[in-house]
Amino acid sequence: MSKEQVWFHRGGWLAEDDIKAHASIDIAEFYRHFHNHPEWWKAIFDFLKRDLKSMAVGKYPIVGDQVFAMVSEYSTKEPEEAKWEAHRKYIDLQYLIDGEERMGQLPLSNAISPQAYDENRDLIFFGDQDGEYFTASPSCFFLFFPEDVHRPGIRIEESKPVKKLVIKIAVS
């Protein structure tokens, strides 16, 4: 096991009562970013301990423009309505406060049909393609680095309302 995997699985970065990390996370990237910005990650994990269910929809600063949170509510989509996306400037920590949805993930190196990058929104969409899918629920958070193309918001059986937290974390 690598030093990054040992660190991740020992969980010293995570308090006993914190929300758990999903197994799909790129452990080496998480380790690198965590050790480059430990104060940001402390602020992130402190934010996750708040009463998220009672938070209003909106944007919340955590560490200036480097780390901020967005709470949203929406209904999950049909698979063909959900787009593959990636970001260059920010890492996404995505956590379902309430409800469930499917999320797709695939490596950026495998992504096809990129559209134009929108620098103001830090967003690039990709064409329809295969990827790996996971169920997102309040049991764990996901991390999507710039090398991770992701497809959030997909219904599981039928469209249902969800409340979601996305924490945007500057890459550097």
Q: What is the total count of domains within the chain?
A: 1
Q: Can you tell me which residue has the tokens 């949203």?
A: 72
DSSP tag of 113: S
Q: CA 164 → CA 5, 42, 86, 99, distances in Å?
A: 28, 20, 18, 8
* pLDDT of res. 4: 94
First to last CA, the chain: 27
Query: What's the CA gap between 88 and 99, in Å, rounded?
Result: 28
Could you list the residue range(s) of the whole structural domain that residue 61 is in? 3-8+18-170
Query: What's the CA gap between 3 and 157, in Å, rounded?
Result: 39
pLDDT digits (tens, 9 = 90+) for 38-57: 999 999 999 999 999 999 99
Structural domain contains residue 13: no
* pLDDT of res. 172: 86
Residues of the chain falling short of pLDDT 50:
none
Domain of 146: which CATH number?
2.60.120.370
Structural domain contains residue 152: yes
| The model's pTM | 0.95
